[in-house]
Amino acid sequence: MLTFAIPCLFGLEGLVGDEVRRLGLEEVQVENGRVLCRGTMADLPRLNVNLRCGERVLVLLASFPARSFEALYQGTAAVPWEEFIPREGRFPVKGHALDSQLHSVPDCQRIVNKAAAERLGRVYGLQRLPETGEKYQIQFAILRDQCSLYLDTTGPGLHKRGYRAVGVEAPLRETLAAAMVLLSRYRGRDPFRDPFCGSGTIAIEAALIAKNRAPGLDRSFDAQRWACVDSRLWLDAAGEAMDREFDGQYDIWGGDIDPKAVRIARENAVKAGVEDLVRFETADAARLRCQGEYGQIVTNPPYGERMLEKQEAEALYAAFGQVYRSIPPKWRVLVLTSHPEFERFFGRKADKKRKLYNGMMKCELYQFTR
């Protein structure tokens, strides 16, 4: 059995824990900024292919006290790296240290790399390893003098689905967009609207969720090239994911006042394979009209600190607040913004608020129900 660690944006731990449980993994532990679970080698590709809100999939190899460089070396050297890294494998090291006696990250990198290299050299009978093969990214995290060592199976983060080669200013991370859709409880039955769609990420993630399409089917992962992971496991994971997809027609719409953003959103929808499921139009959010008894509006309007002047953003919030008053009473509205006075300009207190992070930017997700 392997222990997996799945880092995630702060505030999304519960959603990631639910995803992992639905995939059938064992001993799921939800912690600040990550989820731990236990599974087999077959679960490694299943996690990478299916997770919508996690940032990457790490294999946790060891955890030990490290108050000195000697302790760090010995703890690293005790890890059976040869079970994962072959003779030609490349194993770069990166990591971080916080609130610990070992605080120099470059020094820690050198120690971890040296200990892993010397163990692998002894096992393979080499004084110098070639490191000409596939990449096996080693990560370390030293927190309060406790070191954890990982192998990163994902490569580029899971938010890189493969459909957004280009974007517009201030993009929303795909994992956060998916989380917003899931928190709205959208499942494909009701109309879905994003009146500030930008490059289309929220609406595209809504289409993937409605179709139950795994977000990792159109990209590659570092561990696909690892000798220790049977290639058939990746085919099995993809086949299992595709067997769970739904066929249907969905009412998903994204609008933006910027024609360039709308053009990019349409291109991204084509790359994601959902161009038949979502409509993008050049439209003013202040003129949004919603029909139907139930529905969801999930959006990430300009913050004012990154794209527009603050006063322009506040005027947008006020106009959107007027739109809210005209929508049917059973619609659910979710708005992500970092503006501290959004509710004042919107004209209504949120029924629920949740702290989230868009990259390193602290935001609030405001939820309104009529």
Maximal CA-CA distance, the chain? 74
Q: Are residues 206 and 327 in the same domain?
A: yes
Q: Is residue 370 pLDDT above 80, yes or no?
A: no
Nearest residue to 212 via CA among 248, 176, 183, 237? 248
Q: Is residue 168 pLDDT above 70, yes or no?
A: no
218 near 133, Cβ under 8 Å? Answer: no
Q: Is residue 304 pLDDT above 90, yes or no?
A: no
Element (H, E) at 343: helix 342-346
Which of 119, 152, 185 is the C-terminal boundary of a domain? 152
Give the residue-averaged pLDDT of 11-28: 97
Q: Are residues 194 and 335 in the same domain?
A: yes
CATH number at residue 51: 3.30.2130.30
* In a domain? residue 357: yes
Q: Summarize pLDDT for 173-199 with one digit per residue, the tens.
A: 999 999 999 999 999 999 999 999 999
Q: Summarize pLDDT for 316-357 with one digit per residue, the tens.
A: 999 999 999 999 999 999 999 999 999 999 999 999 999 998
Q: Are residues 147 and 265 in the same domain?
A: no
Q: Are residues 181 and 36 in the same domain?
A: no
> Among the listed ranges 31-40, 59-68, 159-168, which one has the minimum average pLDDT value?
159-168
329 near 364, Cβ under 8 Å? Answer: no
What are phi and psi for residue 243, nearest 5 degrees?
A: -65, -20
* In a domain? residue 66: yes
* In a domain? residue 345: yes
More confident residue, 326 or 303: 326
Q: Summarize pLDDT for 59-115 with one digit per residue, the tens.
A: 999 999 999 999 999 999 999 999 999 999 999 999 999 999 999 999 999 999 999
Average pLDDT, the chain: 95
Q: Are residues 181 and 126 in the same domain?
A: no
Q: Are residues 137 and 182 in the same domain?
A: no
Q: Are residues 123 and 203 in the same domain?
A: no
Give the residue-averaged pLDDT of 234-257: 97
Domain region containing 119: 2-152
* In a domain? residue 161: no
Q: Are residues 85 and 187 in the same domain?
A: no
User: How many of the other CB atoms lie within 10 Å of CB of 254?
Assistant: 30
| 3 state DSSP class of 227 | coil
Q: Summarize pLDDT for 114-162 with one digit per residue, the tens.
A: 999 999 999 999 999 999 999 999 999 999 999 999 999 999 999 999 9
Q: Summarize pLDDT for 260-293 with one digit per residue, the tens.
A: 999 999 999 999 999 999 999 999 999 999 999 9
Give pLDDT, residue 359.
80
Q: Is residue 311 pLDDT above 60, yes or no?
A: yes
Give pLDDT, residue 310.
80
Give pLDDT, residue 305.
58
- Total domains in the chain come to 2
Give pLDDT, residue 170.
58
Give the span between the Cα atoms of 164 and 349, in whole angstroms. Answer: 34
User: What pLDDT band is residue 171 in, cutting at 50, 70 and 90?
Assistant: confident
Q: Are residues 123 and 57 in the same domain?
A: yes
* In a domain? residue 348: yes
* In a domain? residue 187: yes
Tokens 């207190």 belong to residue: 349
Judged on CB neighbours under 10 Å (0-12, 13-18, 19+), 279 is: middle
More confident residue, 233 or 302: 233
Give pLDDT, residue 363.
94
Q: Are residues 130 and 29 in the same domain?
A: yes
Query: How far is residue 244 from each of residues 157, 204, 212, measured CA to CA in Å?
Result: 24, 18, 7
* In a domain? residue 168: no
Give pLDDT, residue 264.
94
Give pLDDT, residue 303.
76
* In a domain? residue 166: no
pTM above 0.85, yes or no: yes
Give the span between the Cα atoms of 295 and 125, in whole angstroms. Answer: 64
Q: Summarize pLDDT for 202-225 with one digit per residue, the tens.
A: 999 999 999 999 999 999 999 999
Give the span between the Cα atoms of 51 and 95, in whole angstroms. Answer: 23
Relative to beta strand 58-65, strand 93-98 is unpaired
Q: What percent of the chain has pLDDT over 90?
A: 92
Q: Summarize pLDDT for 46-62 with one digit per residue, the tens.
A: 999 999 999 999 999 99
CATH number at residue 264: 3.40.50.150
Q: Are residues 345 and 197 in the same domain?
A: yes
Q: Are residues 145 and 178 in the same domain?
A: no
Tokens 């990214």 belong to residue: 137
Give pLDDT, residue 346.
96
